[in-house]
Amino acid sequence: MKRLLRPIIVWALGVSVRVKIMGIALGLVLLLGVGAVIQVQGVTRATFTREMDERALSIARDMAARAADFILLEDFVALRDLVLETLASSKDVRYILVLDGRGNVLAHTFGHFLPPDLQPANAGNQYTGGFRIQRLASEEGILRDVAVPIFQGRAGVVRVGMSEERLEQTLTRTTQQLLLLVAAVSLLGVLAAYLPTVILTRPLLELRDLTRAVGRKVFSSRAQVRFGDEIGQLATAFNAMVENLERADAERSHLLDELRVKEQMRLQLLDKVISAQEDERKRVARELHDETSQSLTSLLVGLKVLGSVVDLPEVREKAAELRALGGKILRDVHDLAFQLRPSLLDSLGLAAAVQRLAEDYAEKLGIHIDCHAVGFEGRRLPPGTETALYRIVQEALTNVAKHAEAKNVSVILREGEASVLAVVEDDGKGFPVAEVMGSAAKDKRLGLFGMEERAALVAGKLTIESTPGEGTTVFVEVPFEQ
């Protein structure tokens, strides 16, 4: 049974919601209908049977009262007339039998002969309430045989047979009408269930389609919120989810784009770093070859000449020249070394190194550079932070030199409780920051990008404020641990 029932239930659970709801409506109507048909059949049968019994009893009692005189006076013609008249005028009466006290037939409604089983049926002398009823099965269906004694049984018994045919016909007709009604109500039920089912399931189907669309990364559609019921709440929640997904997707795309650009910039920066490194080596090599080597060669030649000079004053003069030449070589080497890495940064710290950088640029560019350092009282920042800030200020000053056409530049360093701030401000021509940062011209952005990268490496934040014609200010703030 379980094995048989299980696949049916599993199948029933698998059908669509519409079919389920309509199936439930149909099932309920059918159950109610069948129940009503059975109940009505039962009640009708009971009522009809009771009413038929009462009618049969009334007919039989009337017959018994009227037949008594005929029997006692042996007026069997009148008795037969009475029997036939009663049969003709009574509904549902199939037969009437009048028997004497011994069970002999005195009159009946069958003609000359009568059914042989009928005479001995419903026999006996016991009457409950003055009558006796027996059900008999016949070719024509069930008969109800009601026996009533005549003249206290001394003149015999009258038996009236009631046919249940009309009852059966009525029941059949009633059942047919009820079944028709049930069918009509079922149809109406299905139709009535169809509308709410459509109303209920349409949003669900929409949600299904939308979910599939969202699965394909189509976020443009939204579920329609029709009512405030659970489905409406589901649609609202779904829409919120889709919005979040859309936002997240947009953010992700944006981040991906940014990442891609940054990656590209990084590659370019790396390329530039490598080429800059090569350029620097070339410069150092050229510097060493062109300047230092030449100076050393001059020094060697001078020393050789010195070896052949015999005149002391001339020796002294040559030695002084050679010392000056050696000093120059030393300065050149020192400059070269400073350019490669300012030793001041290592020895005296950021403030001194930046001060020196500003002075160098002022001298080189011929402009006024004002440099202030606040804080830095004997304390040293982490080497990475100092280098990053130094290079950012250097890049900013390089930019001023290259692009700003400024007359005055101000460099401020301020050491706070947990961060250090560097500001490079000029009164140059400025530039549209957003435009330049968003432009595709990578060479323009590479310097700025390098500054950002350096700041980011030490968890710092770089901000550039500039308006064309109104100078540029570069802020960089780098946190440090106490």
Question: According to the binding rule CB under 8 A, does residue 476 interact with other proteins?
Answer: no
Q: How far is the CB of 250 from other proteins (least distance, A)?
A: 30
Helices (H), 138-293: 165-215, 230-286
Q: Does 285 bind other proteins (CB under 8 A)?
A: no
Q: How many alpha carbons lie under 13 Å from residue 150 in its C-beta half-sphere?
A: 28
Contact present, 427 and 407 (Cβ < 8 Å): yes
| Contact set for other proteins, span 94-123 (CB under 8 A) | 94-95, 102-105, 108, 110-121
**For residues 302 and 389, what is the distance between their CA atoms, to the nearest angstrom?**
44
d(CA 376, CA 390): 14
User: 329 to each of 31, 78, 144, how far by Cα in Å?
Assistant: 114, 171, 147
Number of residues that bind other proteins (CB under 8 A): 51
Residue in 137, 195, 418, 441 binding other proteins, rule: CB under 8 A: 137
C-alpha to C-alpha distance for 463 and 454, rounded to whole angstroms: 13
Nearest approach, Cβ of 34 to other proteins (angstroms)? 7
Taking the least distance from each CB to other proteins, the nearer of 28 and 330 is: 28
Residues of span 38-57 touching other proteins by CB under 8 A: 38-39, 41-42, 45-46
Residue 12 contacts other proteins per CB under 8 A: yes
CA 340 to chain centre: 59
Q: Among residues 16 and 39, whose Cβ is nearest to other proteins? A: 39
| Positions in 146-185 near other proteins (CB under 8 A) | 151, 154-155
Out of 15, 17, 72, 237, point to the residue binding other proteins (CB under 8 A): 72
The binder of other proteins chosen from 5, 418, 434, 441 (CB under 8 A): 5
71 vs 420 by CB, closer to other proteins: 71
Among 73, 267, 273, 456, binds other proteins (CB under 8 A): 73
Residues in region 75-94 near other proteins by CB under 8 A: 94
CA 274 centroid distance within chain:
50
| Residue 40: CB minimum distance to other proteins, A | 9
Q: Which strand (E) or helix (H) includes residue 299? A: helix 294-308
Q: Which of 58, 131, 134, 213: binder of other proteins (CB under 8 A)?
A: 134
Which contacts qualify for 294-301: CB closer than 8 Å, 24 or more apart? Answer: 295/325, 295/328, 295/329, 295/332, 296/329, 298/325, 299/325, 299/326, 299/329
Q: Is 11 in the site for other proteins (CB under 8 A)?
A: no
Question: Residue for token digits 């028709």?
Answer: 180
Give whichever of 10 and 434 is closer to other proteins, judged by the CB atom.
10
Structure tokens at 46: 């009971």
Residue 154 or 226 having the CB closest to other proteins = 154
- Cβ atoms of 109 and 18 within 8 Å: the answer is no
Nearer to other proteins, 140 or 271 (CB): 140
* Span 227-266, contacts to other proteins by CB under 8 A: none
Residue matched to tokens 């709801």: 21
Residue 335 CB contacts under 8 Å (≥ 6 apart), including other chains? none
Q: Which residues of 109-129 are buried (b: 16+ CB within 10 A; e: fewer)?
A: beeeeeeeebbeebeeeeeee
Q: Which CB, 7 or 366, lies closer to other proteins?
A: 7
The long-range contacts involving 342-347, CB below 8 angstroms and separated by at least 24 positions, are 342/390, 345/386, 345/387, 345/390
Assess 356 for contact with other proteins (CB under 8 A). no
Q: Which of 22, 56, 63, 68 binds other proteins (CB under 8 A)?
A: 68
At 313, list the tokens: 């004053």
Give the footprint of other proteins on residues 15-34 (CB under 8 A).
31, 34
Question: For residues 163 and 355, which CB has a smaller minimum distance to other proteins in the complex?
Answer: 163
Check residue 129 for interaction with other proteins (CB under 8 A).
Answer: no
Provide the binding-site residues for other proteins, judged by CB under 8 A: 5-6, 9-10, 12-13, 31, 34-35, 38-39, 41-42, 45-46, 68-69, 72-74, 94-95, 102-105, 108, 110-121, 134-140, 142-143, 151, 154-155
